[in-house]
Structure 1
Amino acid sequence: MRGIESVSYFPSPARPRLQFVSCSFRRYTAVDSRSTTMAVELQTPDKLEYNFYPVTSGSTQFKVKTPNDAHIALTTGPAESDPMYEIFIGGWGNTKSIIRKNRQKPDKVEVETPGILSGDEFRGFWIRWSAGSIACGKEGEAHPFMSWDDPEPFGIGYYGVCTGWGASGSWLLEDGSKVDTPDRLEYRFLAVCKGALEIEVKAPSNAHVALTTGPREADPMYELILGGWNNKESAIRHNRTKPDKVHLETPGLLHDGEFRRLTIQWDKGVIQAKKDGIVLIEWRDPAPFGISHYGVRTAWGATGHWKVRNSIPGSTGPQHIVAPRAAPQPGWSLPSAPSGGAATWVPARAGEVPPGAVPGGYDNEQLYVGRARHEGALIPGKVHPSHGVCYVAWGGQEHGKEEYEVLCGCEAAWVPAAQGQVPAGALPSGETEDGEPLFTGRAQHEGAMCVGKVQGSHTVCYIPYGGQEIAYPEYEVLVAK
């Protein structure tokens, strides 16, 4: 595929996107002079019961305040089960740290770490994993204080945290962004994974939010101009052109002395800005597009301070990104599509999940976007880490392939489509034995979200499930940026 490479992989630190839990949100560490990360604050009792979160890359970082025994689990699913790694920091009265596999002794690694934790202040740590190499280090230090290479690695889909042995703890788990914007018409772009932003902004006027298909200003593009025209009016603009799609009065919406909380949402072409749950401004695009990034800026005499989260408290369910439907395409003569920019297909085997792998679904554990060769075809499918294979659909059956490739290094949007159609920007992911192009699609089946192949000539998305090849005329297509 043009623009797609097959490469070996190496550790590449990246930040997981976490599901929301009922916790507070605070800033905890600087990224650069204009952006800092936010955190979920989680309280763990003296119970040795893990709280689990999904990972989408080969690392996580956190801060913890506890007198001893900060435990971290790395698992294939959101529960304790074999296989499983455990990292105990500050165990045995805050004197030692270890790495354990499958809850069994002897421990794989044991190091002396006297006083590594504190019950009075937060201490920062990072954990990284790649191809069986597990490493744990302190915030601000590049080299781990503890590491181990597993000769029989497995795919990691979740991490959990807990405290015990007489200790309760407070954790800061990375989530969200804080951004400062100068008085300049220049967007600061970040990736999205859900169709909503929770924003707190402190600015005298002109807080601008862009919704785009990539980390840059380019058509197609939505802009929400909030508190513009000297903090008297707001507007929604499409492709940076006038007249505005919506323009109305919103006097005093912003304030330069306090943060004002707003929600930006998009779904099936409906763009909304809300305040206190009430819609301030709304527009429906008759020809919507997949949104993978947002940008924020201030201008026209205003600077701004932003706190942004790409999820809404209490929200659940799959991560849907805008819902365009492409025009019907006869047969499988599909329009050429971009190859996804930095998208890379990384060779893997036996359940391995490389850093930066793109999550695609869920079936008792996180599934990832993969592809494998079968009967002369290169077929998109689902990587099931605990099963040790990538499943692909072919010839009416589900086939498990121990050797496969995993899609890495790109932001993914899932765009609804039907009857063999694919939206503009769909990622070419394979081909049939006859040379017909295949695209990555997914559909829900018996409570699972399964990744499969969109085959235009058959007007369906085929998913592998329960030993069968199952056809869905309505599905979602992966658009990679």
Structure 2
Amino acid sequence: MANIMDLATEDKLEYHFFPVSSGSVQFKVRTPNDAHIALTMGPAESDPMVEIFLGGWGNTKSVIRRNRTKPDKVEIETPGILNGGEFRGFWVRWDGGIISAGREGEAIPFLSWADPEPFPIAFVGVCTGWGATGSWKIEDGAEFNTPDSLEYKFGPVVSGSLTFEYRGPHNCHVSLTQAPAEVDPMYEIMLGGWENTKSVIRHCRQKPDKVEVPTPGIMNPNEFRKFVIEWRSGRVLVRDGQSGEVIMEWVDPVPFNITHFGVRSAWGARGQWRISHFSGAQPLPPSAPVAAPLYAAPPGYPGAGAPIVAGIGNWVDATSGQVPPGAVVGGQDCNGEPLYVARAQHEGAVIPGKLCSSHGCAFVAWGGMEHGKNEYQVLVGGPNNWVRTNGSNVPPGAFPGGESEDGEPLYIGRVNHEGSLTTGKVQQSHGVCYISFGGQELGFPEYEVLMP
């Protein structure tokens, strides 16, 4: 087992969310009743959502519910399935719309339902309630095996990277696809092929290979070797997971949207794998200039023509849409209006967000909603150096923007969404950048973070 996340949940039916990149999650829970698991697209309770209730109704039955709506999709009697004095192990899996739950050590699920409208699951939430608190041990990157078979095991991707460890003599194969199946278009990365002598990148299962490099001894049957695969805009990189060194690289002139990955071992090899959520390696360099020159304030807007001065920057008080001279432009709204880096107080927190001058206020994200603030602070004379990253990988020295109600530092991030480049808050413990948009708080595992 690897990367066990310990978590305590209160008796308040409030989900704690974390990202997932494989098609399953394994966990142990200690609670007398009502262990709830949510499967969602984002790190919050929002539709579409599938919930699995274990040991509900006084630890007598378990159900699957969709979009918080009754009647439940599946209901079975499970008396005594949970225990407040000991950990009980379970797994939840999803693939092609089939949601299933089972006990640790049992391959056959005791709950299963086929969702007629499946959606990409990127986050899992856990909570307890109805008189119960809980202790959880959630497995991140648990080990699994692949047989000597040219058959991929598929799971959904969360972001533009996949980190994994492989232990086997040779032929570690990874595919990137737009469905949980071997369908074209498709990339294949074959590491340690040809009796552990070379590695290749293959497109649509066709030869000649797009890239071929000698990699003698890259795999080892006695120890795990770590690798990172990254992709964006058709550019595929394979890195050594320890050194970050690029092993192979290829640019597809006709890229496609990657939604799934597959793994297998073959040609006389069996493999053992550990799949992680997000890459800790260096992010891909930007494919276009950063936003400082692209989104400078146009003539006629307050602050236009004022130089963006290097330095640590100052937070300047403002109200009612005012933009102080030298305000840092962080992005632009859907209509092309510049968005400035701002922050405001809300519910005991100081939250980085965006200032949209024409709206007469700044906006911050909190509690699943967008909040307009007439009084706020604007970053003036500060940096405009944005670095791409993902998950909880906030670069050391990132520019601080505020803190949560619990005292956790919040950093300044931004994401592209529906034609806008919107600034918001990066909460490292959540592994996402939150922005306010269209009245909602939206979380994104891939983002840019402001650096000095």
User: Which range, TM-score by smaller chain?
Assistant: 0.3 to 0.5
Q: TM-score by structure 1 length?
A: 0.41
Report 1 or 2 for greater relative contact order, CA contacts < 8 Å, sequence distance ≥ 6: 1
